[in-house]
Chain A
């Protein structure tokens, strides 16, 4: 008797799980910075109230988000690695890519600043100094948008940090938050997007030391996944979401998101 009840409960649970995936809902494959900074918690209730479409966010690194979307496991892609996003659309996985918003990357470091990069604006010079000094630097090392950007900046600075991997260059292979936790734990410099940093709680004696270089610009884009490539996607709802984000209402909402008196994301969708 007891077994029967348990069995029935199991089946009910399985069915409930299957049912909750349907209705009007979409899955957004997203970069972590937009989720960890609380942007979605602020933005999505507005969108859901307006359209009745429920948005489920899977927050992973940009590399994994793109991979998941290529496997048709999402309806919308919202990441920050323009070349990879354009390749995604070109390969037919996405319908079209639109600039959504931007913020910038910063390099944070410990108060005693072993490489002496505090208040520098020139990111190339700062990276060169860190490399020359052999000061610890914690990298994402996970093929995320931030990681790709960081590698591009090293390459411009003419340094191949991966030669020192395991020495002063520490690749954590994990998300932004985990890398910040690790970097702060070992006294290493870390490059992070500003939104994650502002809303990060475990700062200890760390502060922003390098910022303001044009090369540290961080552009986010939004792409609905193509229904031709992935027939299972909820194409209408995905398009509605992407359209809302770049609409005046969506852009205004993004610009209005503030943490600790600082605006985290700056809307810059092309006006239609």
Chain B
């Protein structure tokens, strides 16, 4: 258990010494996971909205599949992306394997179902509330989707955070498609895996603590945006 004490000390030391390598790894983690969250939102929110308001045959099946895909194992996503981006795979000519772009692609695939499935539930509940009003205004589907997305924006921020949390915490996918290359594709989770395998448990734990603090910071930033916006809305 002495590792715990060491880890907290080491985490503080790393942060306050302004370690350049650590900063690089932290920045790449944020860059990859925030980009993946953005792309996943751009894809997942419209899908969630369309399924929420749509009534079509096979809709229940789509719902089940969407919800099930929230449990996609990161390693499997990593393998699938690897097989496609590998030089001998169909997209090998792009030369994307072992780049941050490959990691963004893998994380996007991993969290798009989360964004789609959760936003579908949020928007469907809201739609049930607004449906009559929408009908009386004779809105088009597109206008309905826009209105729903706008009115649910704060709940959807939480949906985005759920996706971000999954992305920034996973290691299985990025270690396969990124390769954990120093100064190129090393992120917080793969660095933690590496230090664990070197038996430097205190350093691994220290990095884990820093990762948690970063996740806390991102959540706090979103929360403050939300509160500021809410305050302005009532002025």
Interface residue from B98, B182, B199, B201 paired with A21 (Cβ < 8 Å): B98
Tell me the B74-109 residues at the A interface (CB within 8 Å). Answer: 86-89, 92-102, 104
- Which residues on the A side are within 8 Å of B35 (C-beta)? 9-10, 13-14
Interface residue from A59, A68, A177 paired with B199 (Cβ < 8 Å): A177
Tell me the A145-176 residues at the B interface (CB within 8 Å). Answer: 175-176
Whether A202 contacts B181 by the Cβ 8 Å rule is no
User: Does A16 lie at the interface of the complex (its beta carbon under 8 Å from any beta carbon of B)?
Assistant: yes
Whether A199 contacts B179 by the Cβ 8 Å rule is no
- Which residues on the A side are within 8 Å of B86 (C-beta)? 68, 71-73
- Which residues on the B side are within 8 Å of A56 (C-beta)? 98, 179, 181-182, 184
Least CB distance, B11 to chain A, in whole angstroms: 17
Interface residue from B93, B94, B180, B201 paired with A59 (Cβ < 8 Å): B180
Interface residue from B31, B87, B181 paired with A73 (Cβ < 8 Å): B87
Whether A17 contacts B197 by the Cβ 8 Å rule is no
Least CB distance, B204 to chain A, in whole angstroms: 10
- Which residues on the B side are within 8 Å of A70 (C-beta)? 88
User: Does A212 lie at the interface of the complex (its beta carbon under 8 Å from any beta carbon of B)?
Assistant: no
User: Does B212 lie at the interface of the complex (its beta carbon under 8 Å from any beta carbon of A)?
Assistant: no
Whether B199 contacts A17 by the Cβ 8 Å rule is no
Interface centre among A10, A178, A230, by most chain B C-beta atoms within 10 angstroms, is: A10
**Once bound together, how far apart are the Cα atoms of A199 and B39, in whole Å?**
41
Whether B199 contacts A203 by the Cβ 8 Å rule is yes
- Which residues on the A side are within 8 Å of B102 (C-beta)? 17
User: Does A124 lie at the interface of the complex (its beta carbon under 8 Å from any beta carbon of B)?
Assistant: no
User: Does B198 lie at the interface of the complex (its beta carbon under 8 Å from any beta carbon of A)?
Assistant: yes
User: Does B200 lie at the interface of the complex (its beta carbon under 8 Å from any beta carbon of A)?
Assistant: yes
**Once bound together, how far apart are the Cα atoms of A16 and B95, in whole Å?**
13
Interface centre among A36, A177, A178, by most chain B C-beta atoms within 10 angstroms, is: A177
User: Does B67 lie at the interface of the complex (its beta carbon under 8 Å from any beta carbon of A)?
Assistant: no
Interface bin, chain A: 35 or more
Whether B101 contacts A58 by the Cβ 8 Å rule is no
**Once bound together, how far apart are the Cα atoms of A145 and B93, in whole Å?**
30
| CB-nearest residue of chain B to A19 | B99
Whether B199 contacts A180 by the Cβ 8 Å rule is yes
Residues of B in contact (CB 8 Å), total: 33
Whether A72 contacts B92 by the Cβ 8 Å rule is yes
User: Does B155 lie at the interface of the complex (its beta carbon under 8 Å from any beta carbon of A)?
Assistant: no
Whether B201 contacts A202 by the Cβ 8 Å rule is yes
User: Does B158 lie at the interface of the complex (its beta carbon under 8 Å from any beta carbon of A)?
Assistant: no
User: Does A201 lie at the interface of the complex (its beta carbon under 8 Å from any beta carbon of B)?
Assistant: yes
**Once bound together, how far apart are the Cα atoms of A15 and B101, in whole Å?**
8
Interface residue from B97, B100, B179 paired with A13 (Cβ < 8 Å): B100
Interface residue from A10, A73, A200 paired with B98 (Cβ < 8 Å): A73
Interface residue from A14, A17, A21, A200 paired with B198 (Cβ < 8 Å): A200
Q: A17-B100, A21-B95 are in contact. Are A32 and B201 (CB under 8 A)?
A: no
| CB-nearest residue of chain A to B181 | A56
User: Does B196 lie at the interface of the complex (its beta carbon under 8 Å from any beta carbon of A)?
Assistant: yes
- Which residues on the A side are within 8 Å of B15 (C-beta)? none
24 A-B contacts (beta carbon < 8 Å): A16-B100, A17-B99, A17-B100, A20-B184, A21-B99, A27-B179, A32-B197, A57-B181, A59-B180, A71-B89, A72-B87, A177-B198, A178-B196, A180-B199, A181-B201, A199-B198, A200-B198, A201-B200, A201-B201, A202-B200, A202-B201, A230-B87, A232-B92, A232-B95
Knowing that A73-B88, A201-B198, A202-B199 touch, tell me 6 more A-B residue pairs with CB under 8 angstroms: A7-B38, A58-B180, A73-B87, A73-B98, A175-B197, A177-B198
B binding-site residues for A, Cβ under 8 Å: 31, 35, 38-39, 42, 86-89, 92-102, 104, 179-182, 184, 194, 196-201
Return the 8 tightest CB-CB contacts between A and B, nearest first. Answer: A177-B197, A17-B101, A202-B199, A72-B87, A58-B179, A201-B199, A17-B100, A200-B199
A binding-site residues for B, Cβ under 8 Å: 6-7, 9-10, 13-14, 16-18, 20-22, 27, 32, 36, 41, 56-59, 68, 70-73, 175-178, 180-181, 199-203, 230, 232
